[in-house]
Chain A
């Protein structure tokens, strides 16, 4: 037999959380955002001492620069492109097709746009409109082709899509290098600036046209994901492929169709990047937008609202850290990458606290400590530790009303409501007069203690104990009043809400 060795045991274990109230979810997330923000500030201070305060100011410049108010459109464009990439990926992710190939889909459509514009530029008779529309169609087609190849292989041969799309990224990026090398034979190694085929300026503001296009496409995508049959089919395939097959969804068709959509939007992003932003072609044109889009879509849990929020947050961190770095004299692109990476790491870490919770073992030292903290917290904010039991009782009562209200008539319900008391112990009878009395007593005792002369230490200690007892009595009575106020209010509120639930349930039952 093996002898049992003593192993170090953690005083808690991790359990999956079923669901979480919205308020708690956002508290955790916002804590994460601020942690990332603070860490970025600290990092900035380490790299360039004395910039802690100014860091926050410069980060804000990422959104709104008082010296150049028009820069706010830059911010919207940066965020908009990221959001658009996330929306391109969300449908694929929703059906658990891990398309991390947005980078390549964007790159290939960038390449196509730039090449077509370059080709037309030699032919000076073509108008801008024709160039733009040809490029748009070609870019979208290129994106679709790049996305559909892995989709077909996934659908028919179950090829691993993560690795396939990842490789497609690099094929596209390398193709850009190849074409740059082909076109730039003069050794300068930079693609010529494209004078034609750029998107028109609305109100003479850069990027406004791009922003409009992005808003329209994002709105359409929200409708597609939320309101159409296609969007619903995606969720079914994502939840279980077998279920989808069983209810008659053609899974292969859904995969290919969704990837066509994904590729089309990625293609649009590529078009906007060249025609609306860079007007040239470089190997680092996409600049990780595809990967950032993956992270945004995943962190936003494919929910439109959250993805938009994360898009703006990431744009804020990217642009803000660039501004801060240029002020602090740190390398801009590197600092931006570090800060964005840190932001993502921390937000990913918060995901753990959303999905899991700690169960502390009974009788462990940690449990005792946590109980102490909880008791102190409850007494501080509610006046009594009874709050825990009360809340549990209220939950039980609510469940009872929910399930049983249809079986009760009005008088029975009234009886139940009158008898309902969630408080574990009766309220003590305290009012303001008692408290005042206690206070007077305490003050008198204190005065006496100060004036009195003691013969020895023991006498002094006894007198001191007396004062302390009075002090405790006074503070306890104060807490009790607080608790009374809170509890009576809470009970009244709960009873009212029970009545509402009862009314709702019986109404529905009656109409049937």
Chain B
């Protein structure tokens, strides 16, 4: 029986790790371009709102008794979540790139705005069919039932499309950032925008794209949480922004490396879920486990600054607005 609980815990860990992978990959791409996007919690909320809206649009277009199309169930929320989150990213990019406003201030405002907006609109979307049909359909990509003690089947095969997508996106992002010319240019924009500009890189364009694409990926985290982790039984007061802040700390924790982000996400996911699966754990213990990721992040932050190695530092131009004539 213990073994079965452990397997269930691992499966759930991977589920919530997917949210972190989306959030931290998006934020890492943005931060690599030199933009500290503190609006990521707000953007994830907006993504969740958009995704649910898309799902709702699809459900209302189908007769009440007709079965739902498995492809459309996934397609609509993903597209809408990315659209709405990209819109949030566009707002952030417009303020920080074009209007050259302070990153911290714009990000914090965007979070206030996004959380309020999504809480209001998510409250309006009814959950009737969402939990019953969609939540179940989204749960696992491969159809089939596995024995409770089947490690491989339960942990790796019973995951939803979102989980696999998260890992694919993170791996692709890691490869693009570290192995391609586009990634090199992007990192140049983050490290030294003036030099990148002198080398003929369109810094503004790169920063715009990085922010918008990063936001779109982070937005997928929001909808993953609502449809996959909560199984479609969502609520206007779901703490998606907590995932956003944790994603922010994850990027620091993984020292701005998307490849490390994947592994670190599992640690954060495990800490998030362990309270539910430990036998005889009190509520206080459960809350204390939720506190640990932040403490770990602080420790990593301190250690990296102590060793002051070049590979583990934030991008040199992080949080600095670039204005060509400032040189």
Q: Within residues 278 to 306 of chain B, which ones have a CB less than 8 A from any CB in chain A?
A: 282-284, 286-288, 290-291, 294-295, 297-298, 301-302, 305-306
A295 & B105 in contact (Cβ 8 Å cutoff): yes
Chain A 131-164 interface residues, beta-carbon cutoff 8 Å to B: 153, 157-160, 162-164
CA of A170 to CA of B245 in the docked complex: distance in angstroms?
Answer: 8
User: Once the chains bind, are A162 and B104 in contact (CB under 8 Å)?
Assistant: yes
Residues of B within 8 A of A178 (CB): 284, 287-288, 291
Contact B119 A181 (CB under 8 A): no
With beta carbons under 8 angstroms apart, the residue of B101, B305, B319 that contacts A349 is: B101
Q: Which residue of A lies closest to B313 (CB)?
A: A160
* B-chain residues with CB within 8 Å of residue A352 when the two chains form the complex: 99-101
> Is the beta-carbon distance between A164 and B123 smaller than 8 angstroms?
no
A337 touches B95 (CB 8 A): no
Whether A174 contacts B287 in the complex (CB less than 8 A), given A295-B108, A341-B116, comes out as yes
- Closest-CB distance, B227 to chain A (whole angstroms): 21
Q: Which of B104, B109, B287, B314 contacts A341 (CB 8 A)?
A: B109
Q: Which range contains the number of A residues in contact with the other chain?
A: 35 or more
Mask, A286-319, CB within 8 Å of B = 1, is: 0010011011001100000000000000000000
Also in contact, A336 and B294, with CB within 8 A (given A166-B248, A345-B91, A345-B110): no
Residues in A with CB closer than 8 Å to B100 are 352, 355-356
Beta-carbon contact of A288 and B112 below 8 Å: yes
A374 close to chain B: CB less than 8 A? no
Docked-complex contact A331 and B123, CB < 8 angstroms: yes
Q: Which residues of A contact B248 (CB under 8 A)?
A: 163, 166
- Closest residue of A by beta carbon distance from B319: A162
What is the distance, in angstroms, from B243's C-beta to the closest C-beta of chain A?
12
Measured in the bound complex, the distance between the Cα atoms of B326 and A95 in whole Å is: 21
Nearest-Cβ distance from residue B90 to partner chain A, whole angstroms: 13
The verdict on A298 contacting B102 (CB below 8 Å), with A157-B305, A164-B301 known, is: yes
Contacts of A336 in B (CB 8 A): 116
Are A338 and B113 CB-contacts (below 8 A) given A16-B325, A177-B287?
yes
**B298 and A164 form a contact (CB under 8 A):** yes
Q: Do B306 and A157 have beta carbons less than 8 Å apart?
A: yes
**Does any Cβ of B come within 8 Å of A15's Cβ?**
yes
What residue of chain A has the Cβ atom nearest to residue B290's Cβ? Answer: A174
A351 surroundings in chain B (CB, below 8 A)? 99, 101
Query: Using an 8 Å CB-CB cutoff, how does the interface string of B104-142 with A read, 1 for contact, 0 for none?
Result: 111011111111110110010000000000000000000
Cα separation A164 to B123 with both chains bound (whole Å): 34
Could you say which residues of chain A place their CB within 8 Å of the CB of B109? 295, 341, 344-345, 348
Shortest Cβ gap from B293 to chain A (Å): 8
A335 contacts B116, C-beta separation under 8 Å = yes
User: In terms of DSSP, what is the predominant structure of the interface of chain A?
Assistant: helix
Query: Would B112 and A341 count as touching, CB distance under 8 A?
Result: yes
Q: A98 in the interface, Cβ–Cβ < 8 Å? A: yes
Contacts of A442 in B (CB 8 A): none
**In the assembled complex, B252 has its CB within 8 A of some CB on chain A:** yes
A15: nearest chain-B partner, CB-CB: B325
Evaluate contact between A330 and B120: CB separation under 8 angstroms. yes
Q: Is the CB of B120 within 8 A of A334?
A: yes
B188 within 8 A of A: no
Tell me the total A-B contact number using a CB cutoff of 8 A: 153
The answer to the question of A167 belonging to the interface, with a C-beta cut-off of 8 Å to chain B, is: yes
Q: Is B323 an interface residue (CB 8 A)?
A: yes
Which chain B residues border A333 with CB–CB below 8 Å? 116, 119
B249 at the interface (CB under 8 A from A): yes
Q: Is the CB of A338 within 8 A of B301?
A: no
| Residue A168 lies at the interface, judged by CB distance under 8 Å to chain B | yes
B307 to chain A, nearest CB (A): 10
Which residues in A have their C-beta under 8 angstroms from that of B105?
294-295, 298-299, 344, 348
Which of B108, B115, B291 counts the most chain A CB atoms within 10 A? B108
Complex: A356 Cα to B111 Cα, angstroms: 26
Chain B minimum-CB-distance residue to A164: B301
B36 is an interface residue with CB less than 8 A from chain A: yes
CB distance from A95 to the nearest CB of B (A): 16
Within the assembled complex, what's the spacing in Å between the Cα atoms of A16 and B322? 12
Query: In the complex, which residues of chain B have a beta carbon less than 8 angstroms from the beta carbon of A239?
Result: none
Q: Within the assembled complex, what's the spacing in Å between the Cα atoms of A177 and B290?
A: 10
Interface residue? A100 (CB, 8 A): yes
Contact of A342 among B104, B113, B290, B298 (CB under 8 A): B113
- Name, among A164, A168, A174, A356, the residue most crowded by chain B CB atoms within 10 Å (CB to CB): A174
Given A15-B325, A345-B109, A294:B104 Cβ within 8 A: yes
Q: Mark A421-447, 1 if CB is under 8 A from B, else 0.
A: 000000000000000000000000000
Which residues of chain B are near A168, meaning CB under 8 Å?
298
Which residues in A have their C-beta under 8 angstroms from that of B110? 341, 345
Given contacts A157-B306, A167-B249, A167-B297, whether A16 and B323 have CB atoms under 8 Å apart is yes
B120 touches A331 (CB 8 A): yes
What residues of B have a CB within 8 angstroms of the CB of A47 in the complex?
120
**How far is B53's CA from A236's CA once the two chains are assembled, in angstroms?**
51
A181 to B288, CA, bound (A): 10
- Considering the chains assembled together, what is the distance between the CA atoms of A174 and B99 in angstroms? 35
- Chain B nearest CB from A348 CB (Å) reads 5
A-chain residues with CB within 8 Å of residue B245 when the two chains form the complex: 166, 170
Is there an interface contact between A174 and B294, defined as CB atoms closer than 8 Å? yes
CA distance A108 to B326 in the complex (A): 41
Please state if A294 and B325 are interface contacts (CB–CB under 8 Å): no
Shortest distance between the CB of B75 and any CB in chain A (Å): 29
Q: Please, which residues of chain B bring their CB within 8 A of the CB of A117?
A: none
Which of B288, B298, B325: most chain A Cβ within 10 A?
A: B298
B301→A167 contact, CB < 8 A = yes
Q: Which residues of B contact A344 (CB under 8 A)?
A: 105, 109, 112-113
List, sorted by A's number, 28 A–B pairs whose CB atoms are closer than 8 Å.
A14-B323, A47-B120, A157-B302, A162-B319, A163-B314, A164-B301, A166-B248, A170-B245, A171-B295, A174-B290, A174-B294, A177-B287, A181-B287, A288-B112, A294-B105, A298-B104, A331-B119, A331-B120, A333-B116, A336-B116, A337-B116, A341-B110, A341-B114, A345-B106, A348-B99, A348-B101, A351-B99, A352-B101
> Shortest 9 CB-CB distances between A and B: which pairs?
A337-B116, A341-B113, A174-B291, A334-B120, A181-B284, A352-B99, A159-B305, A344-B109, A181-B283
Residue positions of A touching B, CB distance < 8 A? 14-16, 47, 98, 100, 153, 157-160, 162-164, 166-168, 170-171, 174-175, 177-182, 189, 288, 291-292, 294-295, 298-299, 330-331, 333-338, 340-342, 344-345, 348-349, 351-352, 355-356
8 new A-B contacts, CB < 8 A, other than A189-B283, A351-B101, are: A157-B302, A166-B245, A170-B245, A170-B249, A292-B112, A333-B116, A337-B115, A344-B112
